[in-house]
């Protein structure tokens, strides 16, 4: 499956391993963000918050479809053999993360469309067919619960897949860690909670998401610690790869922008805001989102620089 990816960004990279480039960083962040938004929207459906006309679940499905489609287009731009993308859907390779990801993405779209129809936005009300489907879904008992569960399950699968896509490439020791899947899922949930906190029109919902984001940030910090400990306690190649983030060329960006500004500062500001000691501002959510973006780019670039054999 990896022969679909491009090598144009770094001519020194082995073509069988190349997923280098800004497109992959964008795709990994977008996938994690949409995964988190699906899980949050699914949770709102399960808990009945969709009965509130100001619920963010009325905004999230449409935004998720648009953002995910943009991410898929960016990924398509990075593919070396674009006309053969359709071959991913002619088979299912159980040992291939790209095969799993392709089919997960195929299932994500119907789940998002069902969520969109359940909470039809104003523009959709001009379409008689969409209006009728929306009415039937709302009248069917248990439809909101079923759609909520589907969005949470598929969102979780999508979020973990974005990390497994890298960790499955064992030829790059920095990526050779099972912790990347949960780390990217926690980061995606954190970025999504921050994003929904920014766009939500309901005050109680913003409070709830800020509190949830504090938990997601603690989880992310925990998985980063596990990830680095795992590398440092493994082979010499893993230890050398870890040093790219611990004293190497990517150290300052990783610790200042990802850990410091992206996790520690929001973890300082958001609890104070939820305790009403300082007002809620966009600063902490924007820092969380920026930290999530930089995390993906740093791990993609640093991973490509790591190797089992010194040059």
Q: Where are the domains of the chain?
A: 20-168, 203-311
Predicted pLDDT of residue 139: 66
Q: Per the structure block, which two tokens stand in for 198?
A: 């920014």
130 touches 124 (CB < 8 A): yes
Closest CA to 266 of 214, 200, 215, 195: 214
Which residue bears the tokens 């459906």? Answer: 45
Cα 217 to the center of its chain, rounded Å: 14
pLDDT tens digits for 58-68?
889 999 999 99
State the average pLDDT over residues 142-163: 91
Predicted pLDDT of residue 166: 85
For residue 283, which phi and psi values (nearest 5 degrees)?
A: -60, -55
Q: Per the structure block, which two tokens stand in for 92?
A: 């299912």
Task: Provide DSSP, 235-296.
Answer: -HHHHHHHTTTTTSTTHHHIIIIIIIIIIIHHHHHHHHHHTTSS---SHHHHHHHHHHHHHH
Residue 126 pLDDT > 80, yes or no? Answer: no
Predicted pLDDT of residue 76: 79
Residue 6 pLDDT > 60, yes or no? Answer: no
Closest CA to 187 of 153, 158, 207: 158
pTM listed for this prediction: 0.86
User: How many residues would you count in the chain?
Assistant: 311
186 touches 163 (CB < 8 A): no
| H or E element in which residue 227 lies | helix 203-232
pLDDT tens digits for 191-208?
999 999 999 888 889 899
CA end-to-end span of the chain: 27
Residue 116 pLDDT > 90, yes or no? Answer: no
Please tell me the CATH code under which domain 20-168 is placed.
1.20.1630.10
Give the chain's mean pLDDT. Answer: 84
CA pair distance 193, 207, nearest whole angstrom = 11
Sign of CA dihedral 28, 32, 35, 41: negative
Count CB neighbours of 224 within 10 A: 20
């Amino acid at each position: 499956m990896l022969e679909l990816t491009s090598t144009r960004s770094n001519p020194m990279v082995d073509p069988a391993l190349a997923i280098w480039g800004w497109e992959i960083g964008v795709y990994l962040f977008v996938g994690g963000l949409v995964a988190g938004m699906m899980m949050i929207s699914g949770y709102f459906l399960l808990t009945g918050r969709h009965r509130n006309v100001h619920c963010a679940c009325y905004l999230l499905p449409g935004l998720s479809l648009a953002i995910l489609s943009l991410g898929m287009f960016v990924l398509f731009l990075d593919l070396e053999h674009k006309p053969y993308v359709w071959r991913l859907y002619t088979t299912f390779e159980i040992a291939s993360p790209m095969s799993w990801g392709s089919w997960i993405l195929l299932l994500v779209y119907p789940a998002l469309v069902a969520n969109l129809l359940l909470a039809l936005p104003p523009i959709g009300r001009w379409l008689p067919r969409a209006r009728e489907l929306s009415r039937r879904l709302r009248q069917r008992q248990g439809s909101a619960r079923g759609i909520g569960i589907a969005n949470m399950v598929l969102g979780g699968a999508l979020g973990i897949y974005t990390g497994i896509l890298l960790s499955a490439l064992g030829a790059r020791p920095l990526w050779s860690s099972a912790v990347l899947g949960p780390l990217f899922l926690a980061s995606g949930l954190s970025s999504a909670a921050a994003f929904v906190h920014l766009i939500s029109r309901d005050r109680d919902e913003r409070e709830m998401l800020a509190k949830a984001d504090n938990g997601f940030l603690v989880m992310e910090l925990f998985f980063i610690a596990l990830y680095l400990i795992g590398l440092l306690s493994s082979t010499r190649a893993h230890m050398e790869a870890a040093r790219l983030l611990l004293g190497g060329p990517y150290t300052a960006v990783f610790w200042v922008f990802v850990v410091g500004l992206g996790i520690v500062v929001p973890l300082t500001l958001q609890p104070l805001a939820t305790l009403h000691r300082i007002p809620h501002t966009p600063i902490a959510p924007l820092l969380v989102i920026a930290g999530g973006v930089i995390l993906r780019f740093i791990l993609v670039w640093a991973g490509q620089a790591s190797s089992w054999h010194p040059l």
